[in-house]
Structure 1
Amino acid sequence: MKKNLTKNKHSENGKKQRVIFYVITALIPLLFFVFLEMGLRLVGFGNSAPLFIENPAHPSYQLPRPDVMSRYFPENAPKPSVTMEANFILKEKPKNGYRVVVQGGSTAAGFPYGLGASIAGTLDQRLKASMPGRYVEVLNTAMSAVNSYTLLDFADEIIEQKPDAVLIYAGHNEFLGILGVGSNYTAMGSGATTRWFLSLKDFRIFQLIQRIYFGLATPEESGNTVKKGNQLVTLEEQKTGQQSRTFMAKVAKNKAIAKGSSVYKAGLAQFENNMSELLAKYRKANIQVYISTIASNQADQAPFSSLPIESKFIDSTNAFFSGIGKISRQQQLRDLGSASITFLESTSADLHFKIANLALQLKQASIAKTHFALALEHDQLRFRAPSAINDIIRKLATQYNAVLVDAESELAIRSPDGIVGSAMMLEHLHPNLQGYFVISNAFYEAIAANANIKPFTKVSIDRAWRERLVLTQEEYYGFATILNLTSDYPFSQNPTTPSLPKPGDWQQQLGLDFFVKKISWLQMMETSLERYRSDNNPTMMAKAIQILADALPHNGLYNLQIAEIKFTQQRFSESLYYYQRAKRAGALGEAIDNNIKLIQAALPEVK
């Protein structure tokens, strides 16, 4: 009996030892990767590229990392030259703070004018004036070429900044933006795998594998792009020796995405899934979201890529367009109405664009609007979002209790015949200054109606437009940038060197000097300030000082100067903001302290 018990005990011990052995054996690969990850971090391999970094000029402020796109690409991989314009918030949100974060692509970022024309730039000064007693900060995290993957990837870090509201204007880059389904910068083949890729990007082992892959991969395997010196070129450019200048010429891998195709559906699914997860995060964090419909140039931008007219329509289209000029106006209108119905099912974007223009000539705006929209829908080169993107935005706004901002409708209302075109747009989708202001105003009105901030003093649209923080110099720079953009693909199949008009005055000359990189943005602004001062132009002096103060929160002089200007104008809420920044930057004096106390005593209690 004792012998059997001993035998059973040895048997049980043996089983336990085997289990322990198997567990250790199974853990060895895991432990290897754990130690490898720790070792790579200890030797400083790789990076995490956080969204927010400390302002090196003043530790009280932080800013979105300008080169944050580096988080998606290893050092030896071809990468787009996309950066975020520097703008700042306090590291610690004040108790009376009202913090807004803007997300989106190039339109949200204010391309080509910069931050002054952007949603964040225009709202920042307007909300400061509207919310007396609040320390208002409107932060831009938007940048060119990014889509819903980047917005979702930024979300947790944005939530950490405790924003009161997040503003979103996005959707045009789902197909051909970075990580888009038809882009040269696609990480993985599906939405789920791309999100998995993004979840792994901070692990050093993953970054090591990426480097090895891109070190060994052929150009075809690494996204149809290669490095040539410090530049990124496509395979076609490498073969022909002709190098394009614009990002749009490099990004499009899939140049034919037909409506209803598998790639088309994948782009819509990608947007809906990512935005749904994004809005769910903000709802869980109790952050109010304002999400806008998006707009593009329909009236004055021909389709980039069109299918030919279907064979069954060729004879009827030829007969229609050849005979339309030979009949009475009454018959023209009848034939146009019939043709519009007949050709509704055509998938030829060029045909719809031609019908739309004819309808405009005949002053039939309703028919024109229908076919301009169809021309956009069937444009196979998806640099402009189809209407399904706005349908998703409207649906998600309702589903997640976000405030819907209908910027598309606001732009259309202010456009001839209710069709967005060159009156509001610079090219295919970037607004001009008037268009940007309309979008910003739509967000402002939505905030005024929904933020439940008291007191809230509305700033008139006329005053906001008059005080917009964009100089003539920046307008010229934007104009030159658009000329450069439209001189290359897809606006022109063969890239050309644009001919810039001669500057009309010293302001435009400074804008040109900045465009050709003869001077920096800061040099342009400081030179402008001195010239306005010598010309005794106090209005433009104040505008230039405020632009510089906003760009350099750590500069005590500029912030003090604009604080005193606002104080003299009895714009006390704005004055207090800049006095506080000036003091934080080291500007001291009894007069400053007295003015701060006077303003604080006079401002109403915030609720």
Structure 2
Amino acid sequence: MPTSNIKKRHNTPLYWLIALSIPILFFVLFELGLRIADYGRNLPLFIANPANTEYILPRPDIVRRYFSDNSLIPSVTMEANFLLKEKPKNGYRVFVQGGSTAAGFPYGLGASLAGMLDNRLKSTLPYHYVEVVNTALSAVNSYTVLDLADEIIAQQPDAVLIYMGHNEYLGIMGVGSNYTAASSQASTLLFLKLKELRLFQLMQNTYSYFQQPKDKTNFKDSRTFMAKVAKHKNIPLNSNMFAAGVQQFDTNLRLVLDKYTAANVPVYLATIASNLKDQPPFASPDLSDDFSRDLSLLDQLIQTKQNDKVTAQLSKMSQAKSLNNNALAQFELANRYYLMGDFSSAYYHYNQAKELDLLRFRAPEAINNIIRKYAKSQQNVTLVDVAGRLAKSSKHGLIGNNLMLEHLHPNLQGYFLLADTFYNAIKQHSKLLDWYTVRIEKAWQNRPILPSEEYNGFAKILQLMGDFPFTDTPKTLTLPQPEDWQQSLGKEYFLKQIDWVTMMKLALKGYQQEKNAEMVLKSTQLLADALPHDPILNQMTGNLFRNKRLPHLSIHYYLRAHKVNPDSKILARSLIAAYRANKQPELARQWQLQLDKLK
């Protein structure tokens, strides 16, 4: 055959189509072969509840998605909480996304945004089947929020609540983190797209097999996550790495909001707060000799009450060049302004101390600026000003240990205010017509957390603060003696001598022995919410609410029990009575027909 003919055939579109298709077909067949051989793993966000197929739950070990090497996986899990596999016609379904604060650390689900809101919205929306589902977990940032968005959309949310931003630098896939998936934002986003492909997983596993071990013991010991996560402990303000963290958050948040906008899902996006007044910078240059001398002089002037000279000295020090890049100097100056009653100047310098902190466990103001920008520019996004609410609830507008446990996790009052701010935003901006406001005093009284859980949270904070970055040398944890049987249960739970369900059942037994009706109801309800497939617990909770003349709540728990026990005449009669008491006669008649069929 003439050479010219061969060249002509090589130049035909069909030739190039076949030539390009061969490698693509090879990789497609390779991928299919790996899947048929059951190679690799598929880790969907929502998994079946083995105890009852009517329910699904967010996967507790979802963080495994981001690690091919199991020895590197941090010990963070998503607390189990359930939702119905099929959304009810009268369902109101909300999802919470974010990091450890959104997840309720250190107290757990009861103190979390999801736990507080679920408890309150059940009474607020008596004609809806309310589900507030937590998908937040410690250590994650905007990459994980983006990665989970499509699967949340598939569950037909009526709203998504987002509280995130502190982990962009030192969270999983953060720019300064030991737990990184790739070296740049573009490659990390590509990793999120490819990670489910079995061929990609094979490449990861092959790379991990041949890679030399790199001090994996660092990730397997008993140190806290904060002690292990920081690869880059020095990220100056406005440095390239600082800018990369801000850009990462901006891009990822835009992508998240674009997904929810396209799906017509309302988003409630919160500003984030941290401890300004009582958290010294984690990392800072030492004070200069000149600034140290000026600080000593200032303290002498304050002690001798030479106020005019104090004012002059403060003014001089606030203009010192050594202040510009020194977080510790800013913090020390802020303390003196606070002591002298100049709270606006104190706020400025406390905030500068946080901004200049080289170890970026607290988000810079740039993060809140981005949050406000997108809340203003996106139609389906509502700004929830949590930072402003906590500041207004703090003396002189300075958030400190009054609402924070350490650098950024709220105490119980702080978590309640966070949830209340979201509650009011939903009330103002949702299109729900049958809204019955639960007063703030009543909501606080009914907060879904027991003293034993509070003690467990207290112990977790002691553990956290006994390690880096709060101290250079890890300290042996010493727990204070419990003051009562409730705290004793919390200590046993913290020490992993009992599990959460056992702790709650023992607490219920203790309250029953004390004849404490309020705490019997609370602990029974918490158990029923944790185990929606348990017909006995849910029927008990329904009965307790019926006795308190709260039929809308009794209906919720009776319906849960009925899903497991559909042939129960007692439950049918209970539902008839509850619907009548709730002024829903048509539904009462429908249940009467159900009861007649059972007879």
TM range (shorter): over 0.9
Aligned residue-pair number: 583
- 2:48 is aligned to 54
Kindly state the Cα deviation for residue 336 of structure 1 after the two structures are TM-superposed: 2.2
Instruction: Give the direction of change, closer, same or farther, for the CA distance of 1:346–1:548 in structure 2 (3 Å limit).
Output: same
The equivalent position to 2:371 in structure 1, one of 368, 393, 397, is: 393
- Tell me if the contact between 2:301 and 2:309 (Cα under 8 Å) persists in the aligned partners: no
Pair 184,33 (structure 1): closer, same or farther in 2 beyond 3 Å? same
Stretch deviating more after TM superposition (168-177 or 558-567): 558-567
**Displacement after TM superposition at 1:303 (Å):** 0.5
AA partner of residue 93 (structure 1)? K
- Mark the CA change 1:154 to 1:492 in structure 2 (over 3 Å): closer, same or farther: same
User: What displacement does 1:368 show?
Assistant: 1.2
Structure 1 residue 335: Cα displacement: 2.9
Give the counterpart of 1:15 among 9, 13, 17.
Answer: 9
The residue number in structure 1 matching 2:465 is 486
Aligned residue in 2 for 1:261: 239
Whether 1:442 and 2:436 are equivalent positions in the alignment is no
- Indicate the residue corresponding to 2:596 in structure 1: none
Q: Which residue of 1 aligns with 2:108?
A: 114
1:272 is aligned to: 250
Question: Unpaired runs of 5+ in structure 2?
Answer: 587-599
Instruction: Give the superposition deviation at 1:79.
Output: 1.4
Aligned to 1:155, which of 121, 143, 149?
A: 149
CA contact (8 A) 2:323 2:330 kept: no
In structure 2, do the counterparts of structure 1 residues 537 and 73 end up closer, same or farther at CA, with 3 Å as the change threshold? same
The answer to whether the aligner puts 1:420 opposite 2:399 as a matched pair is yes
**Higher RCO (CA 8 Å, separation ≥ 6 residues):** 1
Which of 375, 378, 383 in structure 1 is aligned with 2:356? Answer: 378
Corresponding residue SS for 2:97: strand
* Equivalent residue in structure 2 for 1:458, among 418, 430, 437: 437
Aligned to 1:304: 282
Shift of 1:232: 2.1
Alignment RMSD: 2.3
Q: Whole-Å Cα distance in 1 between the matches of residues 308 and 6 of structure 2?
A: 100
Q: 1:137 aligns with which of 131, 140, 160?
A: 131
Letter of the 2:563 counterpart: R
Q: What SS class does the counterpart of residue 197 from structure 1 fall into?
A: helix
Alpha-carbon separation, structure 2, partners of 1:460 and 1:84: 30
- Secondary structure (helix, strand or coil) at the match of 2:138 reads coil
- Confirm or deny: 8 A CA contact 1:200 1:206 kept in the other structure: yes
Please list every run of 5 or more consecutive structure 1 residues that lacks an aligned counterpart in the other structure. 1-6, 234-242
Alignment partner, residue 122 of structure 2: 128
| Structure 1 Cα separation of the partners of residues 487 and 293 of structure 2 | 52
**Partners of 1:364 and 1:14 in 2: how far apart?**
85
Separation (CA, whole Å) in 1 of partners of 2:417 and 2:321? 34
Residue 174 of structure 1 contacts residue 180 of structure 1 at CA under 8 Å; is this kept in 2?
yes
AA aligned opposite 2:37: V
Q: Contact 1:473/1:509 (CA < 8 Å) preserved in 2?
A: yes
**Contact 1:258/1:380 (<8 A) preserved:** yes
More deviation in 55-64 or 322-331? 322-331
Which residue identity lines up with residue 560 of structure 1 in the other structure?
Q
8 A contact 2:301–2:310 mirrored in 1: no
Per the alignment, residue 203 of structure 1 pairs with: 197
Q: Could you report, residue by residue, the CA deviation over 1:486-509 in whole angstroms, capped at 9, with x for unpaired residues? A: 000000111111211001111111
CA distance, structure 1, for counterparts of residue 352 and residue 436 of structure 2? 42
Aligned to 1:522: 501
* Aligned 8 A contact 1:129 1:459 in 2: yes
The 8 Å contact of residues 557 and 587 in structure 1, kept in 2 or not, is answered as no
Partner SS for 2:51:
coil
Provide the rounded CA distance (Å) in 2 between the counterparts of 1:432 and 1:523: 25
The answer as to 2:78 corresponding to 1:91 is: no
Contact 2:122–2:553, Cα closer than 8 Å, also in 1: yes
- 2:267 aligned with 1:289, yes or no? yes
Residue aligning to 1:406: 385
In structure 2, the residue matched to 1:335 is 313
Choose from 47, 63, 69 the match for 1:69: 63
Q: Which amino acid aligns with 2:328?
A: D
Partner of 2:56: helix, strand, or coil? strand
Return the alpha-carbon distance in structure 1 between the equivalents of residues 323 and 308 of structure 2. Answer: 25
Match of 2:219 in 1: 232
Pair 1:175-2:154 in alignment:
no
Give the drift of 1:73: 1.1
Q: Where does residue 553 of structure 1 map in the other structure?
A: 532
1:312 to partner: Cα distance: 7.9
Q: Distance in 2 between matches of 1:76 and 1:460?
A: 47
Contact 1:340/1:367, CA 8 A, preserved across alignment:
no
**Aligned match for 1:362, one of 325, 340, 350:** 340
* Counterpart secondary structure, 2:486: helix
Q: 1:205 to 1:509 in 2, by over 3 A?
A: same
Go from structure 1 to structure 2 and tell me whether the alpha carbon gap of 1:528 and 1:76 turns closer, same or farther (over 3 Å shift): closer
The whole-number CA distance in structure 2 between the counterparts of 1:450 and 1:604 is: 27
Distance 1:130 1:322, change over 3 A: same
| Cα distance in 2 between the residues matched to 1:598 and 1:453 | 26
TM-score by length of 2: 0.93
Q: Give the match for residue 592 of structure 2.
A: none
1:505 has 2:484 as partner: yes
Call closer, same or farther: CA 1:578–1:343 in 2, change over 3 Å: farther
Asked if residue 567 in structure 1 is aligned to residue 546 in structure 2, the reply is yes
Take 2:122 and 2:58, find their aligned partners in 1: how far apart are those partners?
A: 21
Aligned partner of 2:591 in structure 1 is: none
- State how far apart, in whole Å, the 1-side matches of 2:19 and 2:551 are: 70
Separation in 2 of the partners of 1:273 and 1:467? Answer: 39
Deviation sequence 1:40-68 (CA, Å, 0-9, x none) = 11111111200001111111111000011
**Does structure 1 residue 535 correspond to structure 2 residue 514?**
yes
Q: 1:335 to 1:316 in 2, by over 3 A?
A: closer
- Equivalent in the alignment of 1:238: none
Looking at structure 1, the residues matched to 58 and 345 of structure 2 have their Cα atoms a distance apart, in angstroms, of 45
Check the 8 A contact 1:99/1:163 in 2, yes or no: yes
Which amino acid counterpart does residue 173 of structure 2 have in structure 1?
L
Aligned to 1:236: none
User: What's the CA shift string for 1:402-456, capped at 9, x where partnerless?
Assistant: 1111111111111122111111011111111000000000000101111121110
Distance 2:16 2:255 in 1: 40
Call closer, same or farther: CA 1:250–1:90 in 2, change over 3 Å: same
**C-alpha displacement at 1:598, in angstroms?**
4.1
**Matched-pair contact (CA < 8 Å) for 2:528–2:534:** yes
- Contact kept, 8 Å, 1:77 with 1:214, in 2: the verdict is no
Same amino acid, percent of matched pairs: 47
